[in-house]
Amino acid sequence: MSPPWEVTLYQKLDLSIADVARSLTAGNVIGQGRSGVVYKVAIPSGLMVAVKRFDSAEKISAASFSSEIATLATIRHRNIVRLLGWGANLKTNLLFYDYMANGTLGALLHEGDGAGLVEWETRFKIALGVAEGLAYLHHDCVPPILHRDVKSHNILLGDQYEAFLADFGLARVVEDEPGSLSANPQFAGSYGYIAPEYACMLRITVKSDVYSYGVVLLEIITGKKPVDPSFPDGQHVVQWVRDHLKSKKDPVEILDPKLQGHPDTQIQEMLQALGISLLCTSNRAEDRPTMKDVAVLLREIRQEPIGGSDPHKPTSKSSKMTETNPSYSSSSVTPAQMLMLQQGSSRCSLAYSSSSASIPSSATSITNQTPCVVSELYFRIGKCIKSEHRKGVIAMIQ
């Protein structure tokens, strides 16, 4: 006889914990992470839910289980996976989530016969959704929440390929003033996505999440894995892109071959997104934009309304978040970033070129009418897209 279950539901579900436990079979496995296995389970109402199982006796699994509940039970956003509830006994811990029929971004880009067969419109939508989810965690939750394991396989895709940030087993809140925390004994992050400063100082900040997001954005644009088998000597995608641009080769060659041949307007969007990804993956944390800034820069590519629709409201009051609409007028872009875009830098410089490109009128008007530094940053990106070559980015210098 199994130990008794303790169950807490945050949504009204016709759910029998005993039936759920019996459904956790090998045939229902849809994913596996560092701390648990994920199953697809049908409940009596006909609804499909995702169930993540942890071994309650295993220390890291138990810590991840507690972290996910502590984080997801108190927040709601359209681009963050929804926690439906949890169950626990002496042997097993379970988390219940909305089921995502289209799997993960990593699988979409890299796995199966249809790997990478997804249009730019969908890729851009996913990139923007993840950026806005991270911006919510960093800027609209009080104190801020660090995800600490942003990667393509932790981004779930809904029926319409909406992006949902998932797997909060390593998430932590930022309690101290500098906005960083020391790494705990449980190693944070995944190979290929870890920011340089973590290896050097073992300290993680919101800018560490920004770096990981930049790697994901490069995956979306190039179709390459962070450490792709096609790269020489185990090279990383960030260095691969930088080396290509240093050599003055056509930057369009960096794009996923499945995206090449698209209209010039879309190619230009891809190259502007490439510029944003290179800002995000700057070697120095202070040279990276905030996720709030990144979301604005991506929206400016399409001249979409800043902020999009309102994020979902929380189902319960929490000291960890404030019910405010995202505010994207930020002064967090540093003068160093401006200089990198305008004049270049020994650390990380960008130059763009395209005779077919123009500065979006919305970026110009926003820059003229408001002191928003984000708009100024985008204006400088647009201003550099000019002159000699028909397409894209000219140089990216370490």
pLDDT at 318: 41
Better-predicted residue by pLDDT, 340 or 67: 67
**d(C-alpha 210, C-alpha 10), whole Å:** 30
When pLDDT is averaged across residues 298-311 and rounded to a whole number, the result is: 70
Q: Could you tell me the residue ranges of all domains in the chain?
A: 6-98, 105-331
pLDDT at 187: 55
pLDDT at 186: 52
Is 70 exceeded by the pLDDT of residue 179? no
pLDDT at 172: 87
pLDDT at 1: 62
pLDDT-derived band at 14 (thresholds 50, 70, 90) equals confident
**Considering only CA atoms, which of 99, 102, 105, 101 is closest in space to residue 133?**
105
pLDDT-derived band at 176 (thresholds 50, 70, 90) equals low
Q: Is 369 exposed, middle or buried (0-12, 13-18, 19+ CB in 10 A)?
A: exposed
Is 90 exceeded by the pLDDT of residue 183? no
When pLDDT is averaged across residues 43-61 and rounded to a whole number, the result is: 86
Better-predicted residue by pLDDT, 35 or 213: 213
**Range in 245-259, 316-330, 344-358, 383-397 the model is least confident about:** 344-358
When pLDDT is averaged across residues 345-369 and rounded to a whole number, the result is: 32
Q: What are phi and psi of 321, to 5 degrees?
A: -145, 160
Q: Confirm or deny that 52 is annotated as ligand binding.
A: yes
pLDDT at 68: 92
pLDDT-derived band at 385 (thresholds 50, 70, 90) equals very low
pLDDT at 381: 47
- Cα 201 to chain centroid distance, Å, stands at 23
**d(C-alpha 332, C-alpha 69), whole Å:** 31
List, for residues 68-94, the tens digit of each pLDDT value.
999 999 899 999 999 999 999 988 999
Percent share of the chain, pLDDT over 90: 53
User: Do 363 and 378 meet the contact criterion of CB atoms below 8 Å apart?
Assistant: yes
**d(C-alpha 210, C-alpha 226), whole Å:** 15
Q: Is the pTM of this model over 0.85?
A: no
Other CB atoms within 10 Å distance of the CB of residue 18: 10
Pairing of strands 349-352, 393-397: antiparallel
pLDDT at 285: 94
Q: What does CATH list as the number for 105-331?
A: 1.10.510.10
Is 90 exceeded by the pLDDT of residue 53? yes
List, for residues 111-129, the tens digit of each pLDDT value.
876 677 789 999 999 999 9
Is 60 exceeded by the pLDDT of residue 173? yes
Q: What is the mean pLDDT of the chain?
A: 78
pLDDT at 342: 35
pLDDT at 127: 98
Q: Which of 14, 19, 149, 310 is catalytic?
A: 149
| 6-98 is classed CATH 3.30.200.20 | yes
When pLDDT is averaged across residues 51-68 and rounded to a whole number, the result is: 85
pLDDT at 242: 95
Question: Does the active-site annotation cover 149?
Answer: yes
pLDDT-derived band at 55 (thresholds 50, 70, 90) equals confident
User: Do 210 and 266 meet the contact criterion of CB atoms below 8 Å apart?
Assistant: no
Better-predicted residue by pLDDT, 107 or 371: 107
**Considering only CA atoms, which of 54, 77, 76, 57 is closest in space to residue 67?**
54
Better-predicted residue by pLDDT, 359 or 23: 23
Other CB atoms within 10 Å distance of the CB of residue 121: 13
List, for residues 232-278, the tens digit of each pLDDT value.
888 999 999 999 999 888 899 999 999 988 999 999 999 999 999 99
Q: Which two tokens stand for residue 156?
A: 């779930």
pLDDT at 104: 95
Beta strands in the chain (DSSP E): 6-9, 29-32, 37-42, 48-55, 83-88, 92-98, 145-146, 155-157, 163-165, 172-173, 180-182, 203-205, 349-352, 393-397
User: Do 92 and 23 meet the contact criterion of CB atoms below 8 Å apart?
Assistant: no
**d(C-alpha 60, C-alpha 56), whole Å:** 9
The Cα-based distances of 103 to 138, 217, 219 in angstroms read 25, 18, 16
